[in-house]
Structure 1
Amino acid sequence: MDKNNCSVDLRKLILMLSIVSGLVIVVSAFYAAYSVQRQQLIQASLANNYVYADKLAKTTDDFLGSAQQQLMFSAAVLSGKLNDKSTLASEVDRIRLQTDSFNSVLIVDVTTEVLATSPEALQITGLKLSTPGVLESIRQRAPVISNPYVSTAGNLLIFISHPIFSGNGDYLGFVAGTVYLKKKSALHRLLGEHYHKDGSYIYVVDQNRRLIYHPNAARLGETVDNNPLIDRLVQGDEGESIIVNSEGVEMLTGFAIARKTGWGVVAQRPMRAALAPLDNLMQQVVYKTLPAVILCFVVIVWSAKKISMPLRMLADGAQRMNDDGTEKNIQNVKSWYFEAQELKKAMLLGVGLLHGNIRKLREDLHKDPLTGLGNRRSLDAALQKFKNLQMDFSVLSIDIDYFKTVNDTHGHDVGDTVLQHLAQFLSHICRVDDVPCRVGGEEFIILLPGTHKVDAAKIAERLRQNVEATEIPVVGKITISVGISCYPEDARDVFAVFKHGDEMLYQAKRHGRNRVEVFRPARADAEASA
């Protein structure tokens, strides 16, 4: 009687320990995996937002620089022709219609009288203006990008001007273009095309805390006070931050400065949107693992009627299911009867599925989902490995030329196909130990361990030629620009090496694109001294 009671108690104890320990281990494993990957996703999203904000800031500077160049060319054309009304009318129409940089264009003489304007619907020709942009342009007699203000016609705008001088150097007036902030414009499109459609958005403020761009048009022109993030932008700070916006939504934020104007560009993505891929992936892991876990416990209940020691050993294994050596320990259980053998197989299946799914989760989080190349996490891991091995390496910074034109002309689906084709080129040209990564929209990096700049330049040139010679469906041929730097030859600091690579990439862009530029410290120092 006592033996029977003891046997029943032991069976219940085995079942209780197996069920409780199994649940604790599974939940702990999922919680640990979720917590680690969650933090990595947050850091990656913060970094991506900063890169995106920085890129928009640089693109905004490029847009404003291009607009100023248009006006500078026109100012040269108009020198000595301010009395020719037909020429003035033709020139303002040409500037406005040739590109979509400006919403309106006007020519003003030294007395602030408007000599010509486009479109004529503004009806300000012949008037003398005293708006802030006009007065600042007259006062400075130099190229001007004004702070936002309300014009005579009632538009909130930015005023961009260039002075007109006679052949003798006398100041005659200026030609100016306006960018309306509350109406569609090139600047509006530039800032409004966000790469996420999940509640993410961009906004821009000037040095006076005034909103220049915001997806909520009603807020344009609003001055924002008591905002720590804007305080940092006004001070010229750049970086990443987790904030709660005015609607109480937790946002992952990256922010950067447009150097030409001092405007602050802020890119924000909701925390919940950034974590959505992880939530979906963890659900899939649960769904795939759950049947095996249930099977394990059913087998345990069925087998526990007649066994004690083998079950105890298996229960001990269940308590350490997330340990690396668990599979080997379960394999060593001497299941000398059929029931124990089947239970052993089921537990091995569950452990294998759990570890396999977690490994897959980690691998997916280190790959770019579109191209299959590494992402920033895999790039960081490779750099850490090179650092531990004290290994020299070269950096190839790669960017697709005129990629925005591909997206604008053919759509983002075709743009994605172009990115995938380039990823294939990178994969084919890379050696076993090379590390190809996608780090931004059309930006790629290849790490070449143990490779000096001469060989890296040969590899880059071969890649450039292969890309240029290949036809891509719909798009045709594309080209790339490549910047090369080397660690530790160019710098002992890895961040500086990457910066040199980016500088060479932008130099390749400036020199006509479709080319390879190699960083040369001696030349860089000479240029700095000059």
Structure 2
Amino acid sequence: MDLRKLILVLTLLGALVPFANTFYASYTVQRQQLMDTTLDGNYAYANKLAKSTEDFLQASQLQLAYTAQLLAMKMDDVAKLEEEAARLRMMSKSFNSITIFDATGKVLATSPETLGLQGRVLGSEAVMTALREKRPLISAPYQSATGNFIVFINHPVVSASGRYLGAVGGAIYLQKENILDRLLGQHFYVDGSYLFVVDKQKRIIYHPDPRRVGDFVQHNVVVDRVAAGQSGKGATVNSQGVRMLAGYAPVTSTGWGIVAQRPEAATLAPLTQLMQSTLYRALPATILTLILILWSARLISRPLRLLADGARKMEDPSSAKDIGSVKSWYFESRELKKALLIGIDAFHKSFTKLREDTATDPLTKLGNRRRLDETLADFESQATPFSVISIDIDHFKKVNDSHGHAAGDAALQQLAQRMREACRAYDVPLRVGGEEFLILLPSTTLATAAQVAERLRRTVEEMRIPKVGTITISLGVANWPQSSFEVQAVLKAADEMLYASKRGGRNRVSVHQREVGVSS
């Protein structure tokens, strides 16, 4: 092997291989971490909702059991039965309708009365099973006599002597607004995440898209497992062919299964963008260095060996100093030394920019939660008093639903611009969630922060957004150490004030006042 080829090989081994290996290892580790975090989060959320659903079903059965005791002495009084049915439906809000029927299946009372079932003998499988088994039951989903796709929960009515008198039951209409919507309908993200519920037959009984209710899910390993009573997490492909990261858990008493899932592409999108940005910034300097090395390889001797040694440890912060100490006594080696120093500088600048990007929200260019943690750590270590403004866009979901996510993104970007304009050079504006923002104001009193918040609120109220029109924001203000001696408690106080603004009608500022224990 001649010297020129040897120098090329050494340069490739010393510069490109460590870079590529670091690049690949970083991508692999972060990719797995993102997927594991998403799977764990979805699994925990599915378990939580399964427990909540189980608790609701048990509570509903207790409500029916108590009502059944009251009805045992009233089964001959239709007026009392209708009164009790209406009371149970309106008091609990757990059921879309209530039905009381006797031991033959004849309907004695319903709520609402518009069902028109009084006097009819019910022949549904759920009612027939209740009459046959004479015990508390939760039915499989079925089509009712009124045309509704429902789940029926019933409890027997038994006389003091133990004689079976009939049953009282509550129906949940799966294709209309129901208790499952209230329990499960809070899980929504603009990145395609959603959850759904299936029964033992893998039939959908809850879905964000009501049109899917009643469909059977086929060829989905996650649904197969949860329908079999298993809980866990894993990757799957949904009915639209999208690869999803899912967590799942069963509702034991009914055999239902809850699946929470997020698109794998949405999970990995930030990492892909980050690695592409790093590669684009690093490759030009690396390619330039290789070209210069090939051009000067014929005339390089000992100085080249020293430069090659330095190139092999390009990622080492001390490599620039080592290469700078090489005595290049001819033109070619001096130029190569310059090129290597430029490449090393560009390499380190790229990774510095990479670290900066990880603390910046890609949509609004504001700081993210990592920047929040770094800033709070600095304030706390230097004992710097500061104020916090917590910001949330009012009714932001309606913006996305009515105008599309592109319009929602434009609204977020314009709000971010107004925040930057309202801040001083040393204030720190942040985006910490979908439509949730913070501003940290060092060495700022609570009163001054409240003025900044009010000024920002008015500015946002007056701005116009293409397609969307106007938006408003609710704000909460707190101060450290005035609101609390704990930094995290100050953030919580600002968040509580934000929700006070929401409860107070939105489009307002609430300020935490620790001394008197009230907010304004």
TM bucket normalised to smaller:
0.5 to 0.7
Question: What corresponds to 1:244 in structure 2?
Answer: 234
Q: Give 1:398 shift.
A: 0.8
| Cα distance in 2 for residues equivalent to 1:486 and 1:46 | 37
Question: What corresponds to 2:298 in structure 1?
Answer: 305
Question: What corresponds to 1:166 in structure 2?
Answer: none
What is the correspondence of 1:400-415 to structure 2 with a 5 Å cutoff? 400-415=393-408
CA offsets 1:33-83 (integer angstroms, 9 cap, x no match): 5367547756886899799999x99xx9xxxxxxxxxxxxxxxxxxxxx99
Match for residue 191 of structure 2 among 174, 190, 196:
196
Question: What corresponds to 1:505 in structure 2?
Answer: 498
What is the correspondence of 1:166-315 to structure 2 with a 5 Å cutoff? 179-181=173-175, 187=181, 194-197=189-192, 200-203=193-196, 213-214=206-207, 217=213, 218=215, 224=227, 226-228=229-231, 243-245=233-235, 267-271=260-264, 273-283=266-276, 285-286=278-279, 289-290=282-283, 292-315=285-308
Match for residue 517 of structure 1 among 505, 510, 513:
510
Q: Give 1:437 shift.
A: 1.3
Q: Give 1:427 shift.
A: 0.7
Question: What corresponds to 1:425 in structure 2?
Answer: 418
Q: Is this contact kept in 2: 1:482–1:505, CA < 8 A?
A: yes
Q: Is this contact kept in 1: 2:293–2:336, CA < 8 A?
A: yes
CA offsets 1:371-399 (integer angstroms, 9 cap, x no match): 11112222222223223323333222111
Report the CA distance shift for 1:20/1:473 in structure 2 as closer, same or farther (over 3 A).
closer
- Name the SS for the 1:203 alignment partner: strand
Question: What corresponds to 1:340 in structure 2?
Answer: 333
- Name the SS for the 1:304 alignment partner: helix
Q: Is this contact kept in 1: 2:392–2:437, CA < 8 A?
A: yes
Report the more deviating stretch, 213-222 or 354-363. 213-222
Match for residue 476 of structure 2 among 478, 483, 492:
483
Question: What corresponds to 1:171 in structure 2?
Answer: none
1:116 aligns with 2:110: no
| Cα distance in 1 for residues equivalent to 2:329 and 2:481 | 61
What is the correspondence of 1:89-128 to structure 2 with a 5 Å cutoff? 111-113=108-110, 116-117=113-114, 124=117, 127=120
Question: What corresponds to 1:471 in structure 2?
Answer: 464
CA offsets 1:441-487 (integer angstroms, 9 cap, x no match): 21111122233322222221121122223333333332211122333
Match for residue 448 of structure 2 among 452, 455, 462:
455
| Cα distance in 2 for residues equivalent to 1:181 and 1:433 | 53
Q: Give 1:439 shift.
A: 1.8
What is the correspondence of 1:48-63 to structure 2 with a 5 Å cutoff? none
Q: Is this contact kept in 2: 1:131–1:152, CA < 8 A?
A: yes
Q: Is this contact kept in 1: 2:14–2:314, CA < 8 A?
A: no
Report the CA distance shift for 1:23/1:245 in structure 2 as closer, same or farther (over 3 A).
closer
Report the CA distance shift for 1:371/1:247 in structure 2 as closer, same or farther (over 3 A).
closer
Q: Give 1:428 shift.
A: 0.8
- Name the SS for the 2:439 alignment partner: strand
| Cα distance in 1 for residues equivalent to 2:515 and 2:376 | 26
TM-score (norm 2): 0.65
- Name the SS for the 1:390 alignment partner: coil
Q: Give 1:187 shift.
A: 3.8
Which letter does structure 2 place at the counterpart of 1:504?
M
| Cα distance in 2 for residues equivalent to 1:377 and 1:39 | 20
CA RMSD of aligned residues (A): 5.1
Report the CA distance shift for 1:415/1:252 in structure 2 as closer, same or farther (over 3 A).
same
Structure 1: which 5+ residue stretches go unaligned? Answer: 1-7, 61-81, 84-94, 96-100, 135-145, 161-173, 230-242, 257-262
- Name the SS for the 1:440 alignment partner: coil
| Cα distance in 2 for residues equivalent to 1:51 and 1:434 | 36
| Cα distance in 2 for residues equivalent to 1:418 and 1:182 | 32
| Cα distance in 2 for residues equivalent to 1:29 and 1:325 | 18
Q: Is this contact kept in 2: 1:191–1:202, CA < 8 A?
A: no
Q: Is this contact kept in 1: 2:299–2:332, CA < 8 A?
A: no
Q: Is this contact kept in 2: 1:106–1:114, CA < 8 A?
A: yes
Report the CA distance shift for 1:511/1:210 in structure 2 as closer, same or farther (over 3 A).
farther
Q: Is this contact kept in 2: 1:114–1:126, CA < 8 A?
A: no
- Name the SS for the 1:502 alignment partner: helix
Q: Is this contact kept in 1: 2:172–2:178, CA < 8 A?
A: no
Q: Is this contact kept in 2: 1:211–1:224, CA < 8 A?
A: no
Report the CA distance shift for 1:310/1:491 in structure 2 as closer, same or farther (over 3 A).
same
Q: Give 1:246 shift.
A: 6.3
| Cα distance in 2 for residues equivalent to 1:427 and 1:13 | 54
| Cα distance in 2 for residues equivalent to 1:522 and 1:51 | 39
Q: Is this contact kept in 2: 1:485–1:498, CA < 8 A?
A: yes
Sequence identity percentage: 47
Which letter does structure 2 place at the counterpart of 1:324?
P
Q: Give 1:366 shift.
A: 2.1
Which letter does structure 1 place at the counterpart of 2:234?
V
Structure 2: which 5+ residue stretches go unaligned? Answer: 54-77, 80-89, 102-106, 128-137, 154-167, 218-222, 250-255
Report the CA distance shift for 1:314/1:195 in structure 2 as closer, same or farther (over 3 A).
same
Which letter does structure 1 place at the counterpart of 2:300?
I
| Cα distance in 2 for residues equivalent to 1:277 and 1:436 | 21
1:18 aligns with 2:15: no
| Cα distance in 2 for residues equivalent to 1:131 and 1:17 | 81
Q: Give 1:423 shift.
A: 0.8
CA offsets 1:87-109 (integer angstroms, 9 cap, x no match): xxxxxxxx9xxxxx999778999
| Cα distance in 2 for residues equivalent to 1:254 and 1:507 | 34
| Cα distance in 1 for residues equivalent to 2:416 and 2:310 | 43
CA offsets 1:144-182 (integer angstroms, 9 cap, x no match): xx999655557444789xxxxxxxxxxxxx9x9954249
Q: Is this contact kept in 1: 2:99–2:109, CA < 8 A?
A: no
Which letter does structure 1 place at the counterpart of 2:306?
M
TM-score (norm 1): 0.64
1:365 aligns with 2:362: no
- Name the SS for the 1:426 alignment partner: helix
| Cα distance in 1 for residues equivalent to 2:429 and 2:247 | 25
Q: Is this contact kept in 2: 1:102–1:186, CA < 8 A?
A: no
Q: Give 1:369 shift.
A: 1.9
| Cα distance in 1 for residues equivalent to 2:198 and 2:384 | 44
Match for residue 388 of structure 2 among 370, 392, 395:
395
| Cα distance in 2 for residues equivalent to 1:384 and 1:368 | 19
| Cα distance in 2 for residues equivalent to 1:459 and 1:48 | 36
Report the more deviating stretch, 392-401 or 485-494. 485-494
